[in-house]
Structure 1
């Protein structure tokens, strides 16, 4: 019976924490070509794609904590190899832990820097 109550408690806590995140209109990403050491930053809107070398990166979603908008972004990305149209990555990346769910590519690296915050959230962060 304790296991049931523990499971219920975890589900309730999980649902409560899911409500603490807001959807952003875009995200800032950073690219790295490991062969040439060239880096680049790009800001993408939801649904928009950018090309870096052979990679095509599409931002599907970006979420941030409502209570601390500048703290941690999580973005859902779809990354394709442009030459072969092979799906290289399709999932969530965390700004605070880029290695937790990362693109596994011998030449390129992509990671999330932050979500694009609405004006109200930006003013709250600057006022701290």
Structure 2
């Protein structure tokens, strides 16, 4: 009987690194967005809710749960996308928009804060 090795728990990040593309102007921008904060790119608002990264000893994969909406002045924002995006397979669950594309690039994990005076 063979037993598969247990997979390590994914590491949870606190900053999502995204690349956004404006298809009309061909402008790209890398966005560093803290969890539960909102980044604006053109007329879309991007809010990451969770970011997971596999440990270094496993096959690389970064995934982020994103909420993306289109900003409308004087009206409610229109939800364009809610779900998980994967860095290794951006086409699996992609934002469907005629002007903008968004990809997950990385998940940044901050170093734990050490108490003052402790080395």
CA root-mean-square deviation: 2.1
1:118 to partner: Cα distance: 3.7
**Pick from 76, 88, 98: which aligns with 2:65?**
76
The question of 1:22 aligning with 2:30 is answered no
TM-score by length of 1: 0.74
Runs of 4+ residues deviating >3 angstroms: 67-70
Q: 1:112 to 1:69 in 2, by over 3 A?
A: farther
The question of 1:41 aligning with 2:27 is answered no
Task: Indicate if the aligned counterparts of 2:12 and 2:109 stay in contact, CA closer than 8 A.
Answer: no
Which residue of structure 1 lines up, in the alignment, with residue 55 of structure 2? Answer: 66
Give the aligned length. Answer: 105
**Structure 1, unpaired ranges of 5+:** 1-12, 121-128
Cα distance between partner residues in 2 of 1:42 and 1:85: 20
1:70 to partner: Cα distance: 8.8
Q: 1:117 to 1:81 in 2, by over 3 A?
A: same
**Structure 2, unpaired ranges of 5+:** 113-119
TM-score by length of 2: 0.80
Task: Indicate if the aligned counterparts of 1:20 and 1:67 stay in contact, CA closer than 8 A.
Answer: no
